[in-house]
Amino acid sequence: MRLSTATVTGAAVAAAWSLPSIASHVPSVASLLDIPLRIDAAQAVAITFDDGPHPEGTPAVLAALADAGAVATFFVVGEQVRRYPSLVAEAAAAGHQIELHGDTHRAHVRLSPRAVSEDLRRGHAAIAQATGREPQVHRPPYGIYSGASLGITRRANYRLLLWSRWGHDWSNRQTPQTICSEVTEQLASGDVLLLHDADHYSNKDSWKATAAALPAVLARIEALGLKTVGV
C-alpha cells in the first residue's frame, strides 16, 4: 500500500512534535536533550515540590521545613496560584524558591506550540503577581517536553530542571516510610528530590504521606552531612 504525501508529511510532523516526549527525566534521554537532573552544589541537595499550592498540603510541608530550618523549591501551577496566592506568597516570604510548573497541568505533547507559549505566559504572570518575583526555572508536567515545547521554553529564557530522586508520592500505595526510603536512596550531593505538596492532579490525599515523610527525609539529609538549597 502506498501512502499519500500528505499522510507521510503528517506522520513526520507528529514524530518531530513528540520526539522528546519519551520520559525526559530518564537520565539517558535527559542527557541527550541537555536537560539537567541535578544541581551543581557542594554538600547540598535540593528538595522540590510539584503541583501546588494546596490549602492543606502546602502549609503542612512548610511547617515541616520550618521545623528543620530547611529550604525547598516549589514548582507551582498557575491555576492553583490564582486560587491560593497567599500560600505562594507565604512560601516565598519564608525563603523558599517559587518556580514554574505551568499554568495548567497538561502534558506538553497535547498542547499546540501557541498553547505552550500561552501556558508559560499565564503561569509566569500568576507567580510574579503573587510573589513580586519572576520565575527563572521551569519543570514541565510529568517531566515531559514535546519537540516544540522544549525549544519554546528555552527561547523564553527559562532554565530547565527535572530530578534525580523521587518518592513516587503521588500514589496512595506509598507510605511515609516508602517515600522516605525511595527519595533518599543513595542520596548524594547535587541530587534533586521530587515530592508533591498537592493532590490536585494525583490520588486524593496523597500529600498526607508526603508531609508525614518529610521530617524523616530531612533528618536523613542532615545525617549524611548535607544541607538543603534552592535550585
Give the C-alpha distances (Å, rounded to integers) separating 222 from 43, 167, 216, 219.
10, 18, 10, 5
- CA distances, 191 to each of 44, 47, 85, 171 (Å): 8, 9, 29, 22
Residue type, 198: A
- Count of structural domains within the chain: 1
3-state secondary structure (DSSP) of residue 31: helix
Q: What's residue 34's pLDDT?
A: 86
Please give the pLDDT value at position 9.
32
Residue 177's closest CA among 214, 230, 140, 148?
214
Task: Give the residue from 184, 171, 169, 168 showing the smallest Cα distance to 218.
Answer: 184
Contacts for 109 with CB less than 8 Å, ≥ 6 apart: 17, 18, 21, 144, 146, 149
pLDDT at 10: 36
Confidence of residue 63 (pLDDT cuts 50, 70, 90): very high
Question: What is the percentage of the chain residues whose pLDDT exceeds 90?
Answer: 84
Domain that holds residue 101: 5-228
Identify the residue with better confidence: 40 or 16: 40
> Annotated catalytic, 50?
yes
Beta bridge partners, 228, equal: 45
- Active-site residue among 54, 108, 196, 199? 196
**pLDDT above 90: residue 28:** no
d(CA 217, CA 40) in angstroms, rounded, equals 21
Q: Which of 50, 119, 169, 191 is catalytic?
A: 50
| CATH number of the domain residue 183 falls in | 3.20.20.370
CA distance 95 to 88: 11
| Residue recorded with cell 490564582 | 82
Residue 103's pLDDT is what? 98
Q: How confident is the model at residue 84, as a pLDDT?
A: 98
- CA-to-CA distance for 221 and 188, rounded, in angstroms? 9
pTM of the model: 0.89
The whole-number pLDDT of residue 12 equals: 35
DSSP 8-state assignment for residue 42:
T
pLDDT tens track for 92-145: 999 999 999 999 999 999 999 999 999 999 999 999 999 999 999 999 999 999
Give whole-number Cα distances, 159 to 37, 53, 147, 162, in Å. 12, 21, 17, 10
